[in-house]
Each structure stands twice: as C-alpha cells, then as structure tokens.
Amino acid sequence: MGALHQGHLSLVRQAAAENDKVFVSIYVNPTQFGVNEDLDSYPKTWDKDIEMLQQLNSDLKETTGREGAIDAIFAPTTKTMYPTLPPDSSLPGTGSFVNITPLANLLEGKSRPVFFRGVATVCMKLFDIVQPTRVYFGQKDAQQTVIIKRMVQDFHLDTQVCIVPTEREKDDGLAMSSRNVYLGERRRRVGIVLYQALQAAEAAYRMGMRKREEVLAFAWEVANRMSEAQDGLGAEERARFEVDYISLADPDTLEEVQSVDEAKGAVLSGAIKMLPLESVCEGERLGMGGDKVAVRLIDNIVLAPRPTTGMTLAMVLLRCTRGELGKRDERENEQEHRYATLT
C-alpha cells in the first residue's frame, strides 16, 4: 500500500533473489478500510517510494547481477481495480467480494469487520492480473498470511505464497509499519509495549510453559504494568493505549488454543490502540497529524513447532518398514483416480 519502509523492501529483495521477474504492487485498497477508518489520511509518499525502489534496483544489481531486477511497479487506479461498481466498504456491502471465513472474522477481523474481505478481494484481483508464480507477504501481518494461503488453497490458485520475516527497528525491535509515522516520540516509546508483552510470553513458552493462561499471563503482566505506569503520569507525559487482544492461536485455524501442541506450535499475536495524546508540550517531537489520531499497532511471534522427537521418528520408521505408509498413499491415489475418471 505504498509509504514504503525497509519491511516492504525486504519482500522485494527476497522476491528478486528467488525469481527472474519481479512486480511490485502499490495500491491503497479502499475496500479493506472500514467506513470510519483511516483511508483518507493513510500516508502516501509516491515520489519517495519510487526513489527507494530505484535505489533498491541499483543495490540488487550487485547482489543478483541482473540489471533492473524490479521489472515493473503496478500502481493501478481504483477504476481499474473496481471496474464496474464503486468500491464499497460498508457491511454487508455491494460488489464482488472474496470472503475467507471463519478466518476473516477472528482477531483483527473482530475490530475491522470488512478488512479481510477487502484484502482477499484485492489480492485475488492482483493475482489474476499479474499471474505470479510466487507472491511475497510479510509475517508482520500474520493473519493476512494465513488468509492468503487459505484463499490460494481453496480457490486452486496457481501461485506459491512466500512469507518474509518481520523487519524491526534496530533500536528496540518495533515492527516496521507505514502507520508508525503517526507516532511521535512519546507514543513511539510506549508503543513498544506490544512487542515486549509478546516477547515475555514467548520467554514463558521457552521456559517450558504450555498452558494458555500461564503463557499469556506473562504478556498481560507487561501490558498492565505499562498501562498503570502511564496512568500514574500527568497528561503531558503519558501516552495511553488500549489492548484490543493478546492471542495464543493455532497456526492454521487461528482458533485460540488452551495449551500449545508442540508438534504444531502456535502464533502469539496482539493488537493495541495508541490513543491520541491528551496534551502536548512545547517543542515535543510529534508524529504525522500531531498525535491526534489513534494508531492501531499489531505484532506477532511464531512459537515454532518442536522438531520431531526420536520417539516419533522411530514410530514413522516402524510404519515404513511395515509398509503402512505406502499402503495409505496407494489408497489416496486410488481415490483421486476414481474421481478423475468419473468427471
């Protein structure tokens, strides 16, 4: 959606390393913004975006050895993307939409009910237009990656979804996001609480905790402590925030889990709303819009599944020697074959 930062560039870098043609799309998609969301004020920095991509193209020449690794920037008009009816962000909404439920209704979808309908719809359009062999998405938007993978699977789209790790600010690890420009120094300092809360929960998992309430207690402890600290300050010093959710979910269904299954791992994620500053001081470094608008921040940490244990490996080997695994495959092929000859 433009307003490029290093997170976006890391997607392009990975795409350039793995493909001989790279298309970059820049389009602020209206249908993923709810009627009261920040579509009109969403940062737009077209000239700077082009400069950054040109610079990246020169850098890529050194690493890939190819001139012009980025082949094109696709920046369509809304009339191109929505050729018949105007884009509608209301619920239920009129137009042609892609709905990936129940995934789209969870987590971010609870606070932003049209968000993933808009995301899936515009990605389907982009995929149809460009016909990419691979598409690159950032881990920062974890739910988005799960929804796009589900869409590709359910609609038999001929593309491979590649996920690029979250690019973070060097000093404190804040996940890069185009919306960070709205954070002045004070809200920026407090906004790191989300990542710190998730890291605390991750540490609990690493220490061996598996139960939901145990793991998440560590995150809530960090969030509550920061919230209380802000409450204790005066209006000219504090930056208040609200926690929308802190989640511990299954990596495929995004349903909340009561305890982490080590064979599957889990996704720790969260969203907070940085509230507008109540009062600003003379000379204070403010963000875009003077820190008067609320800013939603999201982040996540993947709790990776444990490698297969010796025990499980031994069981697989045993099943192989008995021929059980081979037999199952044969049955599956048979079913596929029957289906193919019937249709």
Ligand X SMILES: CC(C)(CO)[C@@H](O)C(=O)[O-]
- Please give the residue ranges that form the binding site for ligand BAL (CB under 6 A): 1, 32, 141
Q: Where are the beta strands (DSSP E) in 56-179?
A: 70-74, 134-138, 160-164
d(CA 199, CA 55): 34
Q: Is 119 an interacting residue with respect to ligand X (CB under 6 A)?
A: yes
Contacts with 148 (C-beta within 8 Å, 6 or more apart), sequence order: 119, 120, 123, 135, 137, 161
Q: Is 166 an interacting residue with respect to ligand ATP (CB under 6 A)?
A: yes
Contacts with 231 (C-beta within 8 Å, 6 or more apart), sequence order: 238, 240
What is the dihedral sign for C-alpha 168, 121, 50, 130? positive
Q: What is the CA radius of gyration of the chain?
A: 23
Q: Is 179 an interacting residue with respect to ligand ATP (CB under 6 A)?
A: yes
Q: Is 15 an interacting residue with respect to ligand X (CB under 6 A)?
A: no
Residue 123 interacting entry, from ligand BAL, ligand ATP, ligand X, none, C-beta within 5 to 8 Å by type: ligand X
Residue 186 interacting entry, from ligand ATP, ligand BAL, ligand X, none, C-beta within 5 to 8 Å by type: none
156 is catalytic: no
Q: Is 138 an interacting residue with respect to ligand ATP (CB under 6 A)?
A: yes
Residue of 167, 244, 291, 299 interacting with ligand ATP (CB under 6 A):
167
Residue of 122, 215, 246, 286 interacting with ligand X (CB under 6 A):
122
Residue of 102, 80, 64 lying closest to 27 (CA atoms): 80
Q: Where are the beta strands (DSSP E) in the chain?
A: 22-25, 70-74, 134-138, 160-164, 241-249, 266-274, 295-303
Q: Is 141 an interacting residue with respect to ligand X (CB under 6 A)?
A: yes
Give the max Cα distance, the chain. 77
Q: Is 299 an interacting residue with respect to ligand X (CB under 6 A)?
A: no
Residue of 57, 121, 177, 199 interacting with ligand ATP (CB under 6 A):
177
229 C-beta neighbours (distance < 10 Å), count: 12
d(CA 181, CA 287): 6
Q: How far is the CB of 168 from ligand ATP (least distance, A)?
A: 7
Residue 57 or 166 with smaller CB distance to ligand BAL = 166
Q: Is 32 an interacting residue with respect to ligand X (CB under 6 A)?
A: yes
d(CA 319, CA 303): 29
Residue 122 or 204 with smaller CB distance to ligand X = 122
x-or-dash string of contact with ligand ATP, 290-329, rule CB under 6 A: ----------------------------------------
Alpha-carbon distance values, 76 to 25, 120, 149, 172 (Å): 8, 17, 24, 36
Q: How far is the CB of 25 from ligand ATP (least distance, A)?
A: 9
Sheet holding 266-274, edge to edge: 241-249, 266-274, 295-303
Q: Which stretch binds ligand X (CB under 6 A): 85-93, 116-124, 244-252, 267-275?
A: 116-124
x-or-dash string of contact with ligand ATP, 30-49, rule CB under 6 A: --------------------
Q: Which of 5, 8, 156, 337 is catalytic?
A: 8
3-state helix, strand, coil in the chain (%, to 5): 45, 15, 40
Catalytic residues: 8
For ligand ATP, the binding residues (CB under 6 A) are 1, 7-8, 10-11, 137-138, 140-141, 164, 166-167, 175-179
For ligand X, the binding residues (CB under 6 A) are 1, 29, 32, 119, 122-123, 141, 144
